[in-house]
């Protein structure tokens, strides 16, 4: 299958790289018709100031005619793939794909409306801008021949939020880049007698940083070292909280390079997922969870229908706790101090699903989705 990857998607994001590499591993030829617009922006929803937004909009105005021209001259292909953030891209390319009689697949991945309004509450849903975001996404997802999210749970939730036919959205997992996170490549490193607990990621409501900090407070007199790596929307508030009541058992690193994450994971006895209480938090399996699973490390994360698509708590090394419950998180960490669970740190955890989350497996998921959806389209 020949696939045109079209638009302004952020190719620095693991989601894009894993999907692209997985398709190639599965035998697809990827024709990239791409222009960098969003690269370098860790958190698209936190772009600050009219000047920064204006520069991005100006960039889009400049690149779209070039991208359209390049697409019209692109070799023969079977499908156009638009990936995140592609809400505007899919509206632009739909007409030209129709001219070439090619279907368009939209990797919706993250709803801007859901993120800004429901999850982070940056805009009130009655705000006219929030309404405009909802309408633009409503149009975008219907412009594509088919669209998909990252989990089945997320897909069902977006169908409900945007008034779509149940089952109309597909799903393809995020997965992990095995060359970075495969457990066989990560050396186990001791950190002394204290149990080390690692969280890394953006400081946004979805991750439930407050829950992690409160669990650290509950265990402040125990031999447990909590490590936070990240920054983002909630960082100033978290910093104020820790300055008012410091935690000697907690270390906060502003950020580490992506290539250094495997080392951080290897040094941790336990790795944390997410603990937010929003509808979005209950619907997604974030990058970090796939990376921790691929690295073969013990994981504690919030319970949800989404996480149970991937992990079964009955298996060793997986602990699911109630969302937003700091006491439950603290108790789960304490259990790892016991001799019975300490042995888990010497195991290669999650080995039973390692071959289900690498790029080849993600490419296989997408290929199955495309074949099923194109069959429905063509009859």
pLDDT reading at 342 higher than 60: no
Same structural domain, 264 and 321 = yes
For 336-357, what is the mean pLDDT? 72
pLDDT attached to residue 346: 53
pLDDT reading at 168 higher than 80: yes
Same structural domain, 330 and 186 = yes
pLDDT reading at 158 higher than 70: yes
pLDDT attached to residue 182: 75
pLDDT attached to residue 178: 86
Same structural domain, 283 and 368 = no
pLDDT attached to residue 314: 75
| C-alpha dihedral, 358 to 361 to 367 to 373, nearest 10° | -100
Q: Where does 132-173 show beta strands of DSSP type E?
A: 146-149, 170-171
Place of tokens 């089945």: 152
Beta bridge partners of 361: none
Least confident of 156-165, 302-311, 345-354, 360-369: 345-354
Same structural domain, 67 and 117 = yes
pLDDT attached to residue 313: 80
pLDDT attached to residue 58: 84
Query: Domain total for the chain?
Result: 2
pLDDT reading at 376 higher than 50: yes
Same structural domain, 141 and 231 = no
Which two structure tokens, joined as six digits, stand for 139? 């149009």
* CATH number where 266 lies: 3.40.50.2000
pLDDT reading at 190 higher than 60: no
Q: What confidence tier does 271 reach under pLDDT thresholds 50, 70, 90?
A: very high
Question: What three-state secondary structure class fits 148?
Answer: strand
pLDDT reading at 222 higher than 60: yes
For 308-324, what is the mean pLDDT? 91
Q: What confidence tier does 347 reach under pLDDT thresholds 50, 70, 90?
A: low
pLDDT reading at 340 higher than 50: no
- Percent of the chain scored above 90 by pLDDT? 74
- Percent of the chain scored above 70 by pLDDT? 90
For 115-123, what is the mean pLDDT? 92
Instruction: Please give the helix or strand (H or E) that residue 16 lies within, else none.
Output: helix 14-25
Beta-carbon neighbour count of residue 39 at 10 Å? 11
Q: How far apart are CA 156 and CA 166, in angstroms?
A: 7
Q: Looking at the whole model, is its pTM more than 0.85?
A: yes
Higher pLDDT, 337 or 99: 99
Same structural domain, 109 and 193 = no
Same structural domain, 289 and 364 = no
Question: What three-state secondary structure class fits 234?
Answer: coil
Which two structure tokens, joined as six digits, stand for 235? 């960082």
30 burial via Cβ count (<10 Å: 0-12, 13-18, 19+) = middle
pLDDT tens per residue, range 10-69 = 888 899 999 999 999 989 999 999 998 876 655 554 545 556 667 777 888 889 999 999
Q: What confidence tier does 107 reach under pLDDT thresholds 50, 70, 90?
A: very high
C-alpha closest to that of 247 among 231, 224, 264: 224
Same structural domain, 35 and 68 = yes
Q: What confidence tier does 183 reach under pLDDT thresholds 50, 70, 90?
A: low
Q: How far apart are CA 165 and CA 159, in angstroms?
A: 7
Q: What is the mean pLDDT of the chain?
A: 90
What is the DSSP code string of 331-348?
Answer: HHHHHTTSHHHHGGGGS-
List the domain range (segments joined by +) for residue 130: 2-175+358-378
Beta-carbon neighbour count of residue 26 at 10 Å? 18
Same structural domain, 253 and 143 = no
Which two structure tokens, joined as six digits, stand for 259? 């290539």
Same structural domain, 148 and 30 = yes
pLDDT reading at 184 higher than 80: no
Report whether 360 contacts 180 (CB < 8 A): no
For 273-297, what is the mean pLDDT? 95
Same structural domain, 105 and 162 = yes
3-class SS shares of the chain: helix, strand, coil, % to 5 = 50, 15, 40
pLDDT attached to residue 59: 85
Q: What confidence tier does 185 reach under pLDDT thresholds 50, 70, 90?
A: very low
pLDDT attached to residue 12: 85
pLDDT attached to residue 181: 87
Q: How far apart are CA 66 and CA 302, in angstroms?
A: 44
Same structural domain, 311 and 350 = yes
Which two structure tokens, joined as six digits, stand for 277? 């209480």
Least confident of 73-87, 221-235, 343-357: 343-357
């Amino acid at each position: 299958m020949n696939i045109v990857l079209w638009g302004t998607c952020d190719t620095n994001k693991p989601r894009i790289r894993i999907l692209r590499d997985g398709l190639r591993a599965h035998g697809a030829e990827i024709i990239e018709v791409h222009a960098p617009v969003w690269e370098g922006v860790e958190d698209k929803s936190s772009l600050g100031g009219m000047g920064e937004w204006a520069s991005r909009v100006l960039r889009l105005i400049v690149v779209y005619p070039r991208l359209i021209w390049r697409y019209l001259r692109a070799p023969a292909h079977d499908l156009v793939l638009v990936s995140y953030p592609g809400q505007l891209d899919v509206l632009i390319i739909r007409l030209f794909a129709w001219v070439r009689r090619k279907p368009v697949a939209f990797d919706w991945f993250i709803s801007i409306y859901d993120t800004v309004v429901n999850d982070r509450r940056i805009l009130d849903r009655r705000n006219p801008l929030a309404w405009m975001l909802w309408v633009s996404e409503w149009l975008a997802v219907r412009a594509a021949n088919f669209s998909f999210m990252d989990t089945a749970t997320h897909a069902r939730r977006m169908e409900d939020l945007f008034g779509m036919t149940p089952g109309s959205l597909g799903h393809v997992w995020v997965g992990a880049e095995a060359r970075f996170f495969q457990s066989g490549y990560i050396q186990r490193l001791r950190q002394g007698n204290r149990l080390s607990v690692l969280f890394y990621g953006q400081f946004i409501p979805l991750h439930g940083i407050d829950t992690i900090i409160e669990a650290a407070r509950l265990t402040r007199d125990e031999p447990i070292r909590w490590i936070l790596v990240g920054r983002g929307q909630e960082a100033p508030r978290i910093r104020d909280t820790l300055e008012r009541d410091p935690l000697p058992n907690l270390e906060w690193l502003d950020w580490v390079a992506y290539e250094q994450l495997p080392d951080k994971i290897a040094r941790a006895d336990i790795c944390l997922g997410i603990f937010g209480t929003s509808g979005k938090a209950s619907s997604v399996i974030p990058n970090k969870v796939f990376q921790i699973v691929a690295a073969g490390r013990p994981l504690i994360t919030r319970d949800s229908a989404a996480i149970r698509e991937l992990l079964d708590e009955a298996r060793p090394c997986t602990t699911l706790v109630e969302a937003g419950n700091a006491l439950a998180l603290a108790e789960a960490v304490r259990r790892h101090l016991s001799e019975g669970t300490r042995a888990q740190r010497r195991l290669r955890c999650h080995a039973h699903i390692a071959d289900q989350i690498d790029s080849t497996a993600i490419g296989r998921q997408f290929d199955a989705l495309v074949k099923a959806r194109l069959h429905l389209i063509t009859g």
